[in-house]
Amino acid sequence: MQTTESIIDSSTDVKQSEVKKSIDERSSRQTTRTLQKSLASATAKLFTLNLETATIADIHLAFEAKTLTVEQLVQLYLNRIETYDKQGPAINALISINPNALATARLLDQFMPQKLSSLYGIPIILKDNFNTIDLPTTGGSAVLANSIPPEDAVVVKRLKEAGAIILGKANMSEFALSAGRLGYSSQGGLTLNPYDLNRDASGSSSGSAAAIAANFAVFSTGSDTAGSIRGPASFTGLVGIKPTSGLISPKGVIPLAPSVEANGPIAKTVTDAAIGLGVMAGLSSNNSATLGSIAKPFKDYTQFLDVDALKGARIGIVRDFLSGNPEVDQIFQDALGTLSSLGATVVEVKLSSDGLAVDSYGHLLDSIIQSEFFPQIETYLQTLDDAYPKTLKALIEASLDSDLMSSNTPVNPNRIALYQASIETGGLSNSEYVAAIAQRLDLQDAVFSTFSLSNLDALVYPTVDGLPSLTKANNSNELKDSIFPHDFDSIKNDPYRVGYLANLTGFPDITVPAGFTQSALPVGLSFFAPAYSEPKLLGLAYAFEQATKVRRNPVNTPPLFGEAIGGE
């Protein structure tokens, strides 16, 4: 029988044991917390993010490591825009800045989830023909200044849902057609090329490309009716994707010619462009450009990125696509050597279809654009506030306003002439347009036949077989190595003509940096294949990019203080 003393002794032993256990547990938790803090501190010291080369994955790692907040990131990009866009080199890439960008960033910081969505907290730039309900959408036209559309474009909704922050809207060729002045608009003026401030950044997605090259954001959106994503991306050392027509919904994007245009991403790397494509993609059931239902878009295109994708690939080249510029052609020849060294077989092929040689692409595309623009732009104008023109004729009259024409950025007279030419086509019923649509089908058949007969995986060619236009020329000799500004009409050896192939067929084309000229101007290489070949093309482009890694940042927009984040 236990005595009171023995019970007390026993109770004391138990209490002492519990106290010791509790102390041990607290000590263990403290040790764990100390180790976690030490590990976090070590991770933060080891992790360094360089804003100049930061990818989406890098930024997300910085968020997770707590070395960077979304607000800090947005502020860093806003600092660059303030320093380089309207002063200093005055790239003039942006038409407007989102005044709510920092407030949105703070909200994303406050509610940051454990698992980040694909674009969570990623600052992006939209071409100014993508409708936004919280920022004006002008299409580069001063006539539409301050126009707020009734809703976001479908693509914009998808980007916002993925967590992207719209940092601003990019300058562009007016209503997405350069008409001899690449990257110029009455609303935004002329966008300069960050690699050479005496040259343009192509068009029409000039601001979208120049902004990313100057590192004003992580990636941007563009639209492409005649090389308008790929030309600017090539001239600014970037990756640009012109996807299969209809793969990305055009709803809510100011139209130029829906049957031959497509929207897509512009980024510094194939990986970031693939991430952007996955968010933007989604077949449009009401879009006439959608090429049937033979394939569905993927939410994640990064799954197709493969460093070995070129092993065993058959790559076609068309010699008719060359001879626009000797430096560009040499870079292309060097790229072919790289493709071969990576295991690809390069095959010379012919691509023509009953009179549809490459030099005829421009005229054919022009016929389609002029006929489609008239009815399409009037449909868009009807959705806007009553303060804005409702017809193309009224748009012309407003463009000729004396105050606007005497301003520092009047409407390009050639653009106004094309407005009138579009009206004169009568729209979609004119015989030239009907014939052009039939010729498009012939060209699609020619591409399918070429790929089948030669068992090709892709065609490759210089994205633009020439150099950016000089914005100022001291003498005629300075223009010899550049693309002389010209109207949209096809001209002999038009350096953009090869890119028209993707628009006329509706097939995808991805451009990736291939090299630099002696004067440090970027040159792009295009990978092209039939409809819905994006997975294959991304793999090929990625393999080439990873093997070459030729991209470098422009010297005119160097890093600012504080852009290296983390580390010691």
Catalytic one of 118, 127, 242, 367: 127
How large is the angle between the packed helices 56-64 and 270-280, nearest 10 degrees? 80
Q: Is 352 a catalytic residue?
A: no
What distance separates the 2 farthest-apart alpha carbons in the chain? 117
Rounded-to-integer distance, Cα 123 and Cα 160, Å: 10
Do β-strands 458-462 and 345-348 pair in parallel, antiparallel, or remain unpaired?
A: unpaired
Q: What single DSSP character describes residue 463?
A: S
Contact 483, 469 (CB under 8 A): yes
What's the Rg (C-alpha) of the chain? 27
Residues 6+ apart with CB under 8 A from 209: 201, 202, 220, 222, 232, 233, 235, 236, 238, 240, 266
Do β-strands 314-317 and 458-462 pair in parallel, antiparallel, or remain unpaired?
A: parallel
Q: What single DSSP character describes residue 130?
A: B
Rounded-to-integer distance, Cα 182 and Cα 172, Å: 9
With tokens 């044991």, the residue in question is: 17
The C-alpha angle 372, 375, 380, rounded to 5 degrees, equals 110
Backbone angles phi, psi at 548, to 5 degrees: -105, -45
Catalytic one of 118, 173, 202, 204: 204
Rounded-to-integer distance, Cα 489 and Cα 493, Å: 12
Query: For the chain, first and last CA: distance in Å?
Result: 69
Catalytic one of 228, 234, 249, 399: 228
- Grouping H, G, I as helix, E, B as strand and the rest as coil, residue 80 is helix
CA 437 vs CA 9, 366, 441: distances in Å: 100, 12, 7
The C-alpha angle 69, 73, 74, rounded to 5 degrees, equals 120
Do β-strands 314-317 and 345-348 pair in parallel, antiparallel, or remain unpaired?
A: parallel
CA 44 vs CA 24, 36, 50, 121: distances in Å: 30, 12, 14, 19
State both tokens at 201: 């950044």
State both tokens at 193: 């090329």
Q: Is 228 a catalytic residue?
A: yes
How large is the angle between the packed helices 392-399 and 361-381, nearest 10 degrees? 90
State both tokens at 552: 């470098």
Rounded-to-integer distance, Cα 168 and Cα 214, Å: 14
Backbone angles phi, psi at 510, to 5 degrees: -120, 125
Catalytic machinery residues: 127, 204, 228
